[in-house]
């Protein structure tokens, strides 16, 4: 470890460290993004790292790093850094969540909740073959692998259907909506992250799979009774846009749907 493994904040001269060589390299890049580029940083800024490795660094260095935006992906900043101007990063030329926010703005505020969600991930046949030949999954007569009612959460029922062309995910609950506040959308993000990690573990990195943020929301029912249904091709939206739009809307509304106070969450 070098005696020079410290970082110094430009605005106030605060010094953090001493870090290991790898931690110092990570923190130095984070500081560059915050102070020079004027942006928060996320896992996408570190393509040389896996998402798991990135999260490990965030956890180990949590005394020096704050969460800046609770979205997918989550954005961070070095504690004490000032002057970051863009609170919403641009991805592919659009601000995260614009499409979903436009849709939500047309609904009554008390109906900004998600009743059910269906998602799809396009895959290559090789991924299906790896699951069958290396992971020992059973294939039914329709050439499908079914993972029923995965226990990622006590309330949300997650079901997965895998074919040679795609992975389809269903998320629902028996009674209350799956999302009616900011915590709910973050919980779904966590569930999807766990699922992605499980799939990656089962395929042993032999074949690639798209990251959660680019998974497609192909059908979703909004409103307390699921009365607003979106299942047409034009309604298809990536998870990062879906989650980003809902988080932005809840942020405008103080963190939750107006109806959240009426939902009995007792078990």
The CA angle 74-80-85, to the nearest 5 degrees, is 60
- What pTM, to 2 d.p., does this model score? 0.64
Alpha-carbon span 207 to 204, nearest angstrom: 8
Residue 1 lies in a domain: no
Domain limit, last residue, from 87, 117, 135: 87
Domain limit, last residue, from 57, 87, 117: 87
Name the residue range of residue 43's domain: 6-87
Domain limit, last residue, from 67, 87, 107: 87
Q: Which helix (H) or strand (E) holds 190?
A: helix 182-203
Write the CB contacts of 92 (distance below 8 Å, at least 6 apart in sequence): none
φ, ψ of residue 222 in degrees (nearest 5): -110, 160
**Residue 180, pLDDT score:** 84
Q: Are residues 38 and 140 in the same domain?
A: no
Smallest CA-to-CA distance from 37 within 95, 98, 89 is with 89
Residue 81 lies in a domain: yes
**Residue 3, pLDDT score:** 56
What is the 3-state composition of the chain as percent helix, strand, coil, each rounded to the nearest 5?
Answer: 35, 25, 40
Q: Are residues 175 and 238 in the same domain?
A: yes
Q: Are residues 82 and 107 in the same domain?
A: no
Alpha-carbon span 85 to 87, nearest angstrom: 6
Q: Are residues 76 and 110 in the same domain?
A: no
* DSSP state, residue 256: B
Q: Are residues 112 and 77 in the same domain?
A: no
Q: Are residues 80 and 208 in the same domain?
A: no
DSSP states along 15-43: EEE---HHHHHHHHHHHHHHHTS---B-G
Residue 129 lies in a domain: yes
**Residue 215, pLDDT score:** 96
**Residue 129, pLDDT score:** 95
Q: Are residues 18 and 120 in the same domain?
A: no
| Side-chain-side CA neighbours of residue 171 (13 Å) | 29
Q: Are residues 55 and 105 in the same domain?
A: no
Residue 267 lies in a domain: no
**Residue 255, pLDDT score:** 62
Q: Are residues 127 and 66 in the same domain?
A: no
Q: Are residues 109 and 192 in the same domain?
A: yes
Residue 99 lies in a domain: yes
* DSSP state, residue 148: E
Per-residue confidence of the chain (267 residues) as pLDDT tens digits? 455 799 999 878 899 999 999 999 999 999 998 888 777 888 888 989 988 899 999 999 999 999 887 655 678 999 998 766 444 444 334 457 888 999 999 999 888 999 999 999 999 999 999 999 988 899 999 999 999 988 788 889 999 999 999 999 999 988 788 988 888 888 898 889 889 888 988 998 789 999 898 999 999 999 988 999 999 999 999 999 999 899 888 888 876 665 444 444 433
The CA angle 82-86-91, to the nearest 5 degrees, is 140
Q: Are residues 151 and 47 in the same domain?
A: no
φ, ψ of residue 129 in degrees (nearest 5): -65, -40
Q: Are residues 116 and 216 in the same domain?
A: yes
Alpha-carbon span 82 to 9, nearest angstrom: 9
Domain count, the chain: 2
Q: Which helix (H) or strand (E) holds 104?
A: helix 98-104
**Residue 170, pLDDT score:** 96
């Amino acid at each position: 470890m070098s005696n020079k493994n410290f970082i110094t904040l430009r605005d106030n001269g605060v010094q953090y460290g001493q870090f290991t060589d790898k931690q110092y390299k990570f923190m130095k890049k984070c500081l560059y993004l915050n102070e020079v580029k004027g942006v928060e940083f996320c896992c996408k800024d570190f393509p040389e790292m896996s998402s798991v490795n990135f999260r490990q660094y965030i956890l180990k260095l949590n005394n020096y790093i704050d969460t800046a935006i609770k979205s997918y992906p989550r954005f961070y900043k070095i504690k004490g850094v000032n002057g970051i101007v863009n609170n919403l990063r641009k991805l592919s030329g659009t601000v995260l969540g614009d499409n979903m926010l436009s849709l939500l703005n047309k609904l009554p505020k008390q109906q900004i909740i998600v009743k059910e969600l269906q998602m799809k991930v396009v895959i290559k046949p090789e991924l299906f073959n790896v699951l069958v030949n290396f992971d020992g999954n059973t294939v039914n007569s329709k050439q499908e692998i079914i993972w029923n009612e995965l226990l990622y959460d006590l309330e949300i029922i997650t079901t997965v259907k895998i074919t040679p062309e795609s992975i389809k995910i269903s998320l629902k609950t028996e009674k209350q909506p799956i999302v009616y506040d900011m915590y709910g959308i973050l919980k779904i993000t966590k569930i999807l992250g766990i699922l992605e990690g499980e799939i990656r573990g089962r395929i042993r990195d032999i074949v690639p799979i798209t990251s959660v943020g680019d998974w497609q929301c192909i059908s979703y029912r909004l409103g307390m009774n699921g009365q607003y249904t979106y299942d047409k091709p034009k309604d298809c939206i990536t998870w990062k846009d879906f989650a980003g739009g809902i988080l932005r809307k809840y942020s405008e509304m103080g963190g939750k749907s107006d109806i959240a106070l009426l939902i009995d969450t007792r078990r």
